[in-house]
Structure 1
Amino acid sequence: MAWSGPLRKLAVSPLQRPSTSVKNKIRCCALLLAAALLPASPAASREAPAVPGLDLSALYTADLVGIVDGGLEEGVRATDNLEVAVDADLSELAGWKGARARIHLLSNRSGRPNELAGTIQGINNIEVDEDRSKLYQLWIEQSFAEERVRLLLGLADLNAEFYQNEAASLLIGPAFGIGSELAATGPNGPSIFPSTALTARLRVAVGKDGYVQAATVNGKAGVLGDPDGIDVRMKDGLLLIGEAGWTRTGKLAAGFWRYTKRQPRFLLSEGEHDRRGEIAQGLYILVEQPISIGRAEPLHLFARVGFSDGETTPFRGGWQIGGLWPAPIAGRPDGQFAFGINRGLLTSDYHLLVSEGSATGGEDEVGFELTYSDLVAPFMTLQPDIQYIRRLGGDPRTKDALVLSLRVRLTLP
């Protein structure tokens, strides 16, 4: 077997034996512990002066990520992300009834911590391959029929509305965003972080609590700030996606996606030629439900599963389960605790490739995550995080990885 192309939007490191570094382990633990023990203050809030019809927001996120045991190599890496967004109510600004718009910029600097961990699904959801400043989203949305029908056009993040669980949003592992079997598709990934694509999305409310939505998305992602800029030729076809859901007390949804143009097969046998390629397609089901546990704030549980063709990426599917518990500590109303388990299901051919023909081990990669986030100042949130990843990239020979992280989020005035 041979790889026929790179993984798209999923970081993969060459397989090598892990090195042992006691210094790195001690330094990582000390840095993370010192930062996590910063004195906390009670939550506070403040309101910035508002311009009628305009909402300006800015968020800076910095992560210190340490592979303290296992993986390919122990060590510490830092990565950060700056986002600035302007949301406009065009009805209030210009008298354009039922219209709104969004401009969203971001700037990434990444130490690429997954180069040390060596996972196939990633360990950090703001890690990028290249440091860039770019236009991330630029769209306009028009509502009709008393806002029961909404049409969006422009550069938009697909995962903001499709294949999305709010209860998984605090978790740092990328697999808890959009499913890996979809995230790895396309010539450079679908329209998700860190690059979006031209999109047309229609969403229709059904009854009181239901919805159906569908989108047509350029098959190649690219924005201003990327080397090729915005792709307007659409030579790579389109990604078609649809989802239907019900949101009375939680969320129950199912979706289907399919590319219109054949894509190269991810793995080819020796001497095999991929003349036609394959159509990448898949489906997913997700559920989210609040559960009362005798406190003011319920525990929000989620579960989801996705499947794909298994020909154009190393994934044939995956599942994720977990939960979000707001305010678990008395006197800390802004605290949030989250936990999750993710499992990326790999194709048998890919497993044989990375294990060099060994039949031992599993055709999967499994991750466990625990995290807690809390407001320590009106503008600052701290979030220590721990992840344990088994069978990195489906290779039974690689030692399981223990990853400690500290996320600092600053809301900028």
Structure 2
Amino acid sequence: MKAFLQGSFCAVLLAPAAFAADPFTPHLTYNTALISNLSGGTKAGTVGVGSAHLQLLADGGALFGADGLTAFADGLFTHGGAPDALIGDAQGVSNIAAPPGAKLYEAWVQYAHGRFSVLAGRYDLNSEFYRLSSAQLFLNSSFGIGPEYAQSGVAGPSIYPDTSLALRLTYKPADNMVLRAAVIDDRPPEQSGPDGPLLIGEFAWLQRPSASMPPGESHNRVGRNAGLPAYDNKLALGGWYDTKGSPDQSTPGVNRHAAGAYFILDHLLWSGDSSKLAGFLQTGVADGRAGRFGFYLGAGLNAVGLIPGRPNDEIGLAFARAESGAHFRTLQQSLPGLASRDAELSFETTYLAQINDWFALQPDLQWVQNPGTAKGHALVFQLEAELSF
């Protein structure tokens, strides 16, 4: 089976050449990183991780004359070790680390017309919900989606590396407003066991440069791959509810219907001719009985083009604080010999060097205080490389 999956993925890597013209748009990205725990944590050491996405977007208008219809597929291959085993942290210092294997990551069909969009299929909810552009620079997993939500439920929500089937609706009441809602299976198709629907909704306000659209175009396009220019400012408020829930963290045999809410903000603080500075804030709360984390707060700065002659390089500084839920804290404090703390706090500083159009290098340093909400620290360095075609 392993040889089959590896061989199949190698064969899939050759697909872009066969679909390199309309109506198909292929895209291949590969990220790999060496991650070293320099001090503290569970033990010193270095592991390598990697993640490859082979994506194919099909245009229904060019294929069938069905304007507004698109189909998308994303094959995922992951390999490497487990950096969290060295560090002992809970938030995850790497956003590409995952159990080795190959799988279908996303496969959906979307129809967009006017201010409406509907999408159905296998779907990563973090591609649209709980998402900030400025935070995407950072490598700690919490800057993708807060741990109070990412680590909820039995199997977690439909995010990397395990996605589920979903139905997502989007409506734009105005050019700068977006309403999203989705019903998502709370367990991936490959996992056995009872499942149920996970509900999520979000309201977002976005401000995009008015001069960035071609004459005659408007910002009312909506949905995945809408082709809109990058926003300057974003504010969003969302909420979620897992109807199946998860076991109580401190009471065996008791199930809780997990729920939570989040607030995110991305703001352009300063811009020059070829440089800019943005700041972001993300915070979320969850039922402290059902999930490991009951409160999360993260914030950071992202600077682009500050180095002369390097207009696409990015520099960032951020922190992420994940606070244990009340019932998990009770459970952890009952363990003999464990000096527990209320929260895990991570500081990250990073630099993304865009070498050319298809290759980037990113050295990254993280200080983790109280890894896994146990007393201690860890100092982690990683060097990540990305190839994109």
The normalised TM-score by structure 2 is 0.85
Corresponding residue for residue 146 of structure 2? 179
Matched, 1:190 2:167: no
- How many angstroms apart in 2 are the aligned matches of 1:345 and 1:371? 24
Q: CA deviation at 1:179?
A: 1.0
The alignment partner of 2:345 has SS state of: strand
1:264 partner letter: P
Contact 1:352/1:359, CA 8 A, preserved across alignment = no
1:313 partner letter: G
Q: CA deviation at 1:266?
A: 2.2
2:52 partner letter: L
Matched, 1:393 2:352: no
Q: 1:97 aligns with which of 45, 61, 67?
A: 67
Q: CA deviation at 1:168?
A: 0.5
2:32 partner letter: A
2:121 partner letter: G
Matched, 1:83 2:56: no
Corresponding residue for residue 291 of structure 1? 269
2:199 partner letter: L
Q: CA deviation at 1:310?
A: 1.2
Contact 1:189/1:221, CA 8 A, preserved across alignment = no
- How many angstroms apart in 2 are the aligned matches of 1:192 and 1:294? 35
- How many angstroms apart in 2 are the aligned matches of 1:62 and 1:166? 21
Q: 1:370 aligns with which of 344, 349, 363?
A: 349
CA separation of 1:85/1:49 partners in 2, compared to 1, >3 Å: closer, same or farther? Answer: closer
Q: CA deviation at 1:295?
A: 5.3
- How many angstroms apart in 2 are the aligned matches of 1:402 and 1:352? 27
Q: 1:135 aligns with which of 104, 108, 117?
A: 104
Corresponding residue for residue 309 of structure 1? 287
Matched, 1:122 2:89: no
Contact 1:365/1:393, CA 8 A, preserved across alignment = yes
Which digits, 9 at most, give the CA deviation of each residue in 1:104-149, with x for residues without a partner? Answer: 0010012101100000111111111x211010000010012x2x10
Q: 1:247 aligns with which of 206, 212, 219?
A: 206
1:136 partner letter: Y
Q: 2:309 aligns with which of 320, 323, 331?
A: 331
Q: CA deviation at 1:212?
A: 0.6
The alignment partner of 2:142 has SS state of: helix
CA separation of 1:317/1:405 partners in 2, compared to 1, >3 Å: closer, same or farther? Answer: same
- How many angstroms apart in 2 are the aligned matches of 1:318 and 1:307? 6
2:180 partner letter: Q
Corresponding residue for residue 177 of structure 2? 210
Greater RCO structure (CA 8 Å; 6+ sep): 1
Which digits, 9 at most, give the CA deviation of each residue in 1:223-270, with x for residues without a partner? Answer: xxx4x4xx7xx94111000000100241011001001224211222xx
Q: CA deviation at 1:360?
A: 7.3
1:171 partner letter: F
The alignment partner of 2:362 has SS state of: strand
- How many angstroms apart in 2 are the aligned matches of 1:265 and 1:323? 36
Higher strand share: 2
Contact 2:322/2:343, CA 8 A, preserved across alignment = yes
For structure 1, list consecutive stretches of 5 or more residues without a partner in the other structure: 1-47
- How many angstroms apart in 1 are the aligned matches of 2:273 and 2:42? 43
Q: CA deviation at 1:338?
A: 1.8
For structure 2, list consecutive stretches of 5 or more residues without a partner in the other structure: 1-17, 208-231
Alignment RMSD, CA only?
Answer: 2.0
Mean Cα deviation higher: 327-336 or 153-162 = 327-336
Contact 1:54/1:89, CA 8 A, preserved across alignment = yes
Corresponding residue for residue 383 of structure 2? 406
Mean Cα deviation higher: 296-305 or 192-201 = 296-305
1:253 partner letter: A
Matched, 1:107 2:80: no
CA separation of 1:379/1:359 partners in 2, compared to 1, >3 Å: closer, same or farther? Answer: closer
Contact 1:351/1:395, CA 8 A, preserved across alignment = no
The alignment partner of 2:247 has SS state of: coil
The alignment partner of 1:91 has SS state of: helix
- How many angstroms apart in 2 are the aligned matches of 1:266 and 1:360? 18
Corresponding residue for residue 260 of structure 1? 243
- How many angstroms apart in 2 are the aligned matches of 1:200 and 1:49? 27
CA separation of 1:74/1:360 partners in 2, compared to 1, >3 Å: closer, same or farther? Answer: closer
Q: How does 1:25-174 map to 2 (within 5 A)?
A: 50-128=20-98, 130-144=99-113, 146=114, 148-174=115-141
Contact 1:320/1:342, CA 8 A, preserved across alignment = yes
The normalised TM-score by structure 1 is 0.80
1:403 partner letter: V
2:301 partner letter: G
Q: CA deviation at 1:353?
A: 3.7
Q: CA deviation at 1:150?
A: 0.1
Which digits, 9 at most, give the CA deviation of each residue in 1:151-196, with x for residues without a partner? Answer: 0000010100001111100100001111101111222221100111
- How many angstroms apart in 1 are the aligned matches of 2:117 and 2:204? 16
